[in-house]
Structure 1
Amino acid sequence: MPSYPAAYQASKGSALDVDRAFYGRIGSQTDGRELVDSFVVPIRSGRAWTVPAGHVFRIVTVEGPQVADLNIWNRHNPRECFWASRTRQLQQAHVSNFDRLWSTLPYLRPLATITHDTLADYGIDEYGGRVHDLLGTRCDPYVNRMLTGEDFHHHCHSNLTRAVAPYGLTEFDVHDVLNVFQVTGLNAEDKYFMKACPAKKGDFLEFFAEIDLLCALSTCPGGDLSVPLWGPDARDPLEVCRPLGVEVYRLDPALLEGWSSPEVAAYRGNHGMTLPTPSWEKDPA
């Protein structure tokens, strides 16, 4: 099938022209790293953590295949958060090495850049499925109640809501996600499908923090998605749920020479409006 050109093109030197040599060194030159934080997120739960700018963090399949939902915010301003739909347009619908996770308006800058993906060779399967998905979003108890008539409090939306509560955030701050380790696509009817997770024990997805970040991860209650979650064959996938690990590393300072956090978008944000001069700024004469 012929391929139509992407809408957003990366011209040389533009914001979409990522420095692959720089991020490639970060992903490959690991000897000078220092592990500064690590923990395990149990099944059907969530956890939030901070990552300083210039550090990297990994999400690791510590026991075997398991999908996860990731949210990211500016640590100092949670109004700036990951924008899944714009990232899908500027990067890809499924992300991997050198793709960047972009923030919401009016900030519009990279929050994180992927530096090492052990599933990068998955490619595209016979059904059109790819891994690390931006097509869908988090499972939630509202849709579950609508479709089943039952309440379940460990969907990814709820897990993320509990995870960020200690940081003063609520479910209004939880946003569309990156589905880590999740294989998805669109079928012949243009409908979203999910397949079993291909990750093995020890696989990981690694991100470089472009600014100070607050991150939150949910270990999806669907586990590795090998069990149908909806429809006539649906059943509880508890037996295919596994924990995930998170690791945060401080990098060798030499790797960061010449790097600085990206600035927010240059557009001034007046949207064509001329605003009146406040009364206290007017000439009293």
Structure 2
Amino acid sequence: MASADRPHPPPQPAYLATPGSILHTDRAFYTSVAEAERTPTDSFTIPIRSGRAWQVPAGHIVRISTPEGPQVGDLNIWNLHNPRERFWAARTRQLHASHVSIFDRLWSCLPYLRPLVTIIGDSLSDYGVDQYGGRCHDLLGTRCDPYVNSMLTGDSYDFHCHSNLTRAVLPFGLTEFDVHDVINIFQVTGLNADGKYFMEASPAKKGDYIEFFAEQPLLMALSTCPGGDLSTWGWGEGGGSEEGEKKSMLECCRPLKVEMFSLEEGKALEGWTEPQPPKYRGRHGMSVPLGEGNGESKA
């Protein structure tokens, strides 16, 4: 066979870390964290088409579950003390995958670029890839919002995930400008043969969950998507059905439950420390005058 006719190997991932990099998760450590004895510290349920924000101490576990059946949730994360450090969906997608599960991390934006959380539990981790190429816990898309809704339908609706998250963070001094791209938990998505984004019905059942280990002190915010489990989706309010052929989106909506747990620091967390940003301290190629005697030109 001529060399030109030989099949080429598939391209390797673009982001490969050297040994010892923080990108390599210590699986033995996070398995022990997931299995360690834990103490409940807080628990609440977020109603349908709503949102809530809450604080998480570093070293705690956050569990989000589906107490009544399938429901998609849109999650935002910030450093508790510095909201400029927030979840970076695009880089997380490059460092790990388009959909994430156990041992993957959710990374913060520049110039911080460090793990916000590590996923330590996922009852849907065996979902894999379905017949359409869909996978679970989506980083391809982002939150639904009233601006796109208005653009597509001409309607106004106040309980899209962007609006739910905006209302949720107001008590913590944040605004709409702080709401950012999300991880869509319990949501199955993919790209079709034309590269177009698609969504499928959530495969979650009553009691399914995903668990995060907080690598930093965090503020988290979660919206219960107005599309519910996405088994019936359409832009607009979704309060009615199409000639009785489809149930309404409202009928597909269910609450999500949030639980927090602490761990005994001397045991399960032995040797763990909060991740630090990369050590780059350059000036991006810029020479900045620092005053007299420090390179400033004289007239």
TM-score for both structures, normalised by structure 2: 0.90
Q: In the alignment, what sits opposite 2:270?
A: 257
Match of 1:22 among 8, 13, 29: 29
- The answer to whether the Cα contact below 8 Å between 2:64 and 2:257 also exists between their aligned partners in 1 is yes
What is the aligned counterpart of 2:257 among 228, 231, 245? Answer: 245
- What residue number does 1:155 align with? 160
1:119 is aligned to 2:131: no
Distance in 1, matches of 2:96 and 2:162, equals 24
Matched to 2:290, the amino acid is T
> Which residue, out of 84, 97, 100, partners 1:95?
100
State the one-letter code of the partner of 1:257: E
**Which residue number in structure 1 is paired with residue 79 of structure 2?**
74
Q: Residue 229 of structure 1: CA displacement?
A: 1.4
CA distance, structure 2, for counterparts of residue 72 and residue 281 of structure 1:
40
Amino acid paired to 2:148:
V
What is the aligned residue count? 281
Asked if 1:106 corresponds to 2:111, the answer is yes
Which of residues 270, 273, 281 in structure 1 aligns to 2:286? 273
Q: Mark the CA change 1:60 to 1:281 in structure 2 (over 3 Å): closer, same or farther.
A: same
What runs of 5+ residues in structure 1 fail to find an aligned partner?
A: none
Provide the residue aligned with 1:214 in structure 2. Answer: 219
Q: Report if aligned partners of 1:197, 1:226 keep a CA contact under 8 Å in 2.
A: yes
Displacement, 1:252? 2.5
The Cα shift of 1:10 comes to: 3.3
SS in 2 for 1:78: strand
- Matched residues in 2 for 1:221 and 1:58: separation? 21
Write the mapping of 1:47-62 to structure 2, written as runs, cut at 5 A. 47-62=52-67
Match of 1:130 in 2: 135
Structure 2 counterpart of 1:204:
209
Unmatched segments (≥5 aa) in structure 2: 1-6
TM-score if structure 1 supplies the norm length? 0.94
Deviations 1:24-71 (A, max 9, x none): 111123xx2110011000000000001100001011101100000000
Q: Root-mean-square deviation (CA), in Å?
A: 2.0
Q: Distance in 1 between matches of 2:176 and 2:250?
A: 25
Q: Distance in 1 between matches of 2:200 and 2:22?
A: 33
Q: Against the structure 1 CA distance between its residues 275 and 22, is the aligned structure 2 distance closer, same or farther, given a 3 Å change threshold?
A: same
Cα offsets for 1:48-95 (capped at 9, x unmatched): 001100001011101100000000000000000000000000011100
Match of 2:261, as an amino acid? Y
* Contact 2:142/2:183 (8 A) holds in 1: yes
Q: CA deviation at 1:12?
A: 2.1
The answer on whether the counterparts of 1:106 and 1:269 sit within 8 Å (CA) in structure 2 is no
Give the fraction of aligned pairs with identical amino acids, expressed as a percent: 65
